[in-house]
Structure formats: C-alpha cells, structure tokens
Amino acid sequence: MQSITEIKSLRSQIKAWSQAGLSIALVPTMGNLHLGHFSLVEKAKMMADKVVVSIFVNPMQFGANEDLDNYPRTLDEDKRGLADLETDIVFTPSVETIYPNGLAAQSFVDVPDISLGYCGGSRPGHFRGVATVVTKLFNLVQPDYACFGEKDFQQLQVIKTMARDLSIPVEVIGVSTMREVSGLAMSSRNGYLSNEQKDSATALFKVLNNCAEQLKSGNTDFATLEETAKQSLQQAGLKPDYFSIAQRDTLKAATLDDNKFVILAAAYLGSVRLIDNLQVEV
C-alpha cells in the first residue's frame, strides 16, 4: 500500500494507472475507521482494479460550535486496517494541501435544495464543506467509482446530485449501513458513548423499524408517525433533532403518491449526535 500526502505524487500514480487502462475507485473518509468504512473499501475492490482511500478531517464541514480539534484521529491504526485489505493508496493530505489559500479564500460547491433540512438544517454550511472537498477529491483521483455509506443518506444524495449536475464522470455507489449486533449503526461518534449510552442508543434503530413496519402495513399518516417516533425517542432518553419520512430520491416530504420512502432520523444522547435511516418501499 502506498501512503501519499502530496497532490503531485498522487496525480503521477493516477496518470500511470489511467494510461494502463485500469479502473479506479475512491473511498473518501475522515479517518477513525471502523468496519463500516472497511465495507466501503471491500465494495470498492469489487468494482475497480485500484482503490484509493482518502483520510482527511475536513474543517470546511465543521460548524462554529462543533469540536473539530477533538475529532478522533487514529491514523496509524487506520493505515494498518487499510493495508490488511490491500488498499492501493491511502491519501492523507494536510489542510494546507487541500486549502492552500485558507478557507476564507477557498472556492466552494453548493448543492441547492437537497442540502436543505435534516442535517443540512441542523448543521448550516455542512454540506457545502462536504460537496467542496468531495469535488476536489474527484478532480484529484478521477475515479470511475466512489463509495459512500448509506448511513449518511442525505450526504449520499447530495453527492449523487452534485456529480450529476456538474457532469462529473463518476458512478456514486451507496453501500448498506453496517450495524452492531444491537442494531446501532456503526459510526466514529459511537466512541464517545459509554456502554450504558450504547444500550440506550439502540432505541433509534428500534423506533425506525417500528415506523417502517407501520408504513409497510399501509399507514400513511406521516405526521402522526413522525410525532409518535419522536415521543418514543424521548421516552428512551434521547433528544430528537428530527425524525422525518421523505421521498427516497428527492428527500422532499413524503406524499400519498410516493411508494419509495426513506425515514431519516437524528437524535442527541448526551452531547453525541446520532444519525440513522431506513429505506422503505411499499
């Protein structure tokens, strides 16, 4: 596995692969890797001849009250895991490499409409940061495929929309959420939870499943389903941020004409913000 930090070296290797006719898959991450991330790498290896994993804690997607400095960084351990998977390149640029003129002078990418609401509403500017850094990575790696987890479902739809709107020739692939035995979605933020909190956090997946079963049974009173779910989360000790039933592809509020839904949820457990979702087709 090659460990690359500089753009020039990365581009040189990408050029050689392209000239050899090899396909490339990209897995963008912020590090602190877990089995969910490794499942993205395994999917990428199935799709392409060569796999690039980026590890970059992107300051542009952190808000004013979000703790960028304390985001968990486990680079040595991450590299060992990626080497075990026979990843071809791990790209670990510095902030200065990605934003050489600083954030204030950086051009950015905004994806309208689908970036609004849900996590976009709770974290203003978050998806601008995501879209900008992913666009830069797409330009640097020029991948044929890019793999993203479905746990961050709004992010996945934002990136798909961006790639389509900007005519970026990459196939954006969503990979199913990896879960603990308890059903809790794997996340870097789970490391902030105590064992007792992890037990409480399983309520999020349970409430999502209950709502999904109601939809499948024909219940289309979306507002009541959402309110009941929020009350259930509160009773389990979580503080709901949002719980919404949306049309799967557009993320607009669900209507009676829809049959492909995604249930999107975010809730706080202490200071930790958990997100999850379930896709439902009826």
Q: What is the CATH number of the domain that holds 77?
A: 3.40.50.620
Is residue 40 included in any domain, yes or no?
A: yes
Average pLDDT for residues 175-189, to the nearest whole number? 95
For the segment 54-98, what is each residue's pLDDT rounded down to a tens digit? 999 999 999 887 878 888 899 999 999 999 999 999 999 999 999
Q: What is the pLDDT of residue 228?
A: 98
Residue 181 within any structural domain of the chain:
no
Same-domain status, 142 and 217: no
Measured CA to CA, the distance from residue 216 to residue 58 in angstroms comes to 39
**What residues are annotated to the active site?**
37
Q: Enumerate helices (H) and strands (E) in the chain, giving the number of each.
A: 9, 9
Mean pLDDT of the 235-255 span: 97
Total domains in the fold of the chain = 2
pLDDT tens per residue across span 99-153: 999 999 999 999 999 999 999 999 999 999 999 999 999 999 999 999 999 999 9
Summarize the confidence of residues 221-235 as an average pLDDT.
98
Q: Note whether residue 183 is domain-resident.
A: no
Let me know if residue 32 belongs to a domain: yes
Out of 146, 175, 204, a domain closes at: 175
The CATH number for 253's domain is 3.30.1300.10
Same domain, 49 and 150: yes
57 and 96 inside one domain? yes
End residue of a domain, out of 129, 152, 175: 175
**Structural domain boundaries, residue 40:** 2-175
Query: Which residues 6+ apart lie within 8 Å of 276 measured at CB?
Result: 151, 177, 185, 204, 205, 208, 265, 266
Same domain for 192 and 170? no
Cα distance between residue 277 and residue 201, in whole Å: 14
Taking a C-beta distance cutoff of 8 angstroms, is the pair 167, 49 a contact?
A: no
267 part of a folded domain: yes
Mean pLDDT of 248-264: 96
CA separation for the pair 196, 9 (Å, rounded):
46
> How big is the CA angle at 161 (ends 208 and 19), to the nearest 5 degrees?
120
Does residue 53 contact residue 89 with C-beta atoms inside 8 Å?
yes
Identify the burial level of 59 via C-beta atoms within 10 angstroms of its C-beta, where 0-12 means exposed, 13-18 middle and 19 or more buried.
Answer: middle
pLDDT at position 70 is 84
DSSP characters over 202-254 = HHHHHHHHHHHHHHHTT---HHHHHHHHHHHHHHTT-EEEEEEEEETTT-PBP
Residue 165 in any domain: the answer is yes
The CA-CA-CA angle for residues 181, 231, 157, to 5°, reads 60
